[in-house]
Structure 1
Amino acid sequence: MDSKLGCNPSYMWRSILWGREGIEVGSRWRIGDGKNVSIYHHRWLPRPSTLKPFSPPLLPSQSKIAILIDENGCWKEHLIRNNFLEDDADQILKLPLPKKPLEDQLVWSYDKRDQYQVKSGYYVALRLKLKDLPSSSSPNIGWWKFFWNLSLPSKIKLFYWRAFSNILSTYLNLHQRKIPVAPSCPVVALLTRINISRWWGVN
């Protein structure tokens, strides 16, 4: 998870790291003993978008969740109320803690069972792909929610999304990603020659 892109990455390696970004954005920590999770730097609150506290850092910046849990495995409500905004404090105190000491665990934040689902994974990937586009060119996210809920085969939904995002493995896209293929599709070239031949009456 800490690997770098490097100075001359292949298309495959860039794709793997792009996928890693989606996992990071869609994941959050389920709190156990709180020893491995940073209060201000990790994603751990079940809140859309940031998954992090909104509160200004009143505690040391590298503080772990463990300092907010007492020896009985309960939240230190007084400490939390004094160092977090009301909304953050309420969110933290609602989080269940294990009855027995357990390690913190990474879970998928976009599923009720905390398990990764392809549907929500592609939703996160779509958000990442469109985050740098101007708002006028971004599609209606509500429409995409409607689209993913349609009773269509998953492979058709996936093909439509890939076509819309221009990430189909066409000859042009492969050529632009430095894959050694011709930039033009041979089928299109053949059909073009056939049409030209018919136009000029050449057999």
Structure 2
Amino acid sequence: MGFQNLQTFNLPLLSKQGWRILSNPDSLVARIYKAKYFPHGDVLNSKKGNNPSYAWRSIHNSLEIIRKGTRWKVGNGKRIHIWDDRWLPTPSTHKVISPPKPFDNFPMVSSLIDESTKWWKPKLVKSLFLPFEATTILRIPISYSLLEDNLIWIRNKSGTFTVKSAYYIATKVVEQNGGRASTNSHSASPFWKKIWQLKVLQKSKFLPGVHA
């Protein structure tokens, strides 16, 4: 698979668990974590909480991988924050770059959609965003049934989360942290430090049963 840094490899493995929670919110594991750590939102906006379990702390520390590898597909716009979330079909950042303008106490994408016409509010969009960005937004199709917003994986052509595609995001995250997987709680634990310091062949540090 081309993995070169096994310490970095732990990040996408953990983010895979986060992706499962996000994409299968009705699973038993997802419901347990939601009840305890993010009862009023989703896993991407969750807090680590007080005295979190080791498993949750590890998953939470890897959520940056999912944030960088996904964007929202607009449905009814109720889950998407206009200024903070990634929801535009623009490959550079997928985020709005127009300066934020106060217009609503609840600045979600839903406030830009007219529920009666099932389409954008053109005048409002043009008043809030730079011309080129307003044009981009008004071209985003909206389902007449106003389906729920959907988070999609954008790091490969299939749109499916894979450990391999997440690994390349992880390498950039680690580089930004000065070459350390500081967002990974495993790498900070005494046990994992001893594992990574062992003077053995790199491939010997793979744990049995770990697959992409």
Into which bin does the TM-score normalised by the smaller protein fall? 0.5 to 0.7
Aligned pair partner of 1:27 in 50, 70, 87: 70
TM-score (norm. length: structure 2): 0.57
Aligned pair partner of 1:56 in 99, 120, 141: 99
TM-score (norm. length: structure 1): 0.60
Residue 81 of structure 1 aligns to which amino acid in structure 2?
K
Q: Following the alignment from structure 1 to structure 2, what is the Cα–Cα distance between the partners of residues 180 and 22?
A: 20
Within 5 A, what are the aligned runs for 1:41-120? 41-58=84-101, 59-60=103-104, 62-70=106-114, 71-120=116-165
Judge conservation of contact 1:107–1:114 (CA < 8 Å) in 2: yes
Label 1:91 to 1:115 Cα distance change in 2 as closer, same or farther (>3 A).
farther
Structure 2 unaligned spans of 5+: 1-42, 202-212
- The CA deviation at 1:7 is 6.6
Structure 1 unaligned spans of 5+: 139-164, 168-173, 189-203
- Could you say which structure has the larger radius of gyration? 1
Between the two proteins, the alignment pairs up a number of residues equal to 151
- Counting aligned pairs with the same residue, the percent is 33
Q: Following the alignment from structure 1 to structure 2, what is the Cα–Cα distance between the partners of residues 130 and 115?
A: 25
List per-residue Cα deviations over 1:8-42 (Å, max 9, x = no partner).
Answer: 975x6554223211112212111111122111122
Label 1:72 to 1:111 Cα distance change in 2 as closer, same or farther (>3 A).
farther
Q: Following the alignment from structure 1 to structure 2, what is the Cα–Cα distance between the partners of residues 131 and 166?
A: 9
Judge conservation of contact 1:175–1:182 (CA < 8 Å) in 2: no
Higher relative contact order (CA 8 A, sep 6+): 2
- The CA deviation at 1:186 is 7.6
Supply the RMSD in Å over aligned alpha carbons.
3.4
Where does residue 39 of structure 2 map in the other structure? none
- The CA deviation at 1:176 is 6.5
Label 1:9 to 1:50 Cα distance change in 2 as closer, same or farther (>3 A).
farther
